[in-house]
Amino acid sequence: MDLTHEQRQAIRQWIADGASLSDVQKRLKSDFGIGMTYMDVRCLVLDIGAQVKDKPAPRPVPPPAPADDEMGAEDAELPVDEDEHHAIPFAKPDAPAAGSVNVTVDRIVRPGAVVSGDVTFSDGTTAKWVLDQMGRLGLEGANPGYRPPAQDIHEFQNQLRSLLQSRGF
């Protein structure tokens, strides 16, 4: 599409101001009455030599800090797992003992999975896990929105890794 010099300058300015390709497409339609597909806008931006700026990655939101009265002496320091390079919280006295996660592998693999099995978390919730052809791990059968206790996730991953390695995966 042939654009005037002023229209090309306007597009360069929009992109310099941080507009995305979708924004440019909308503004071309509203400001100049030019309807273009997204791919045409992308090619146009390349043709005029403009560089679309990447949006900054969203910063992760830190979890809320526990209130001072909830934090006991055992929470003051966290040991570090050398293999994983992240902090592992100490188990509180009223928390279930480590190792109370039970992982099994199915003899007959569920459809659409490379390997599958069952898991029982320390709070008694059971779920079915599947590992698909793309290497994605999924949990099925637990209540919608269920999240296992934090210490159980690490234990589940370790047990699953051991089971799969022992079976040649």
Say how far apart CA 105 and CA 120 lie, in whole Å. 12
**How much is the mean pLDDT over the chain?**
77
Contact 116, 109 (CB under 8 A): yes
pLDDT one-digit tens code per residue, 92-111: 434 444 558 899 988 888 88
Contact 50, 11 (CB under 8 A): yes
Say how far apart CA 103 and CA 120 lie, in whole Å. 7
2-16, 62-76, 146-160: least confident range: 62-76
Say how far apart CA 52 and CA 131 lie, in whole Å. 38
Can you tell me the mean pLDDT for 141-167? 85
Can you tell me the mean pLDDT for 35-63? 80
pLDDT one-digit tens code per residue, 108-139: 888 888 899 999 988 888 889 888 888 888 88
Contact 88, 70 (CB under 8 A): no
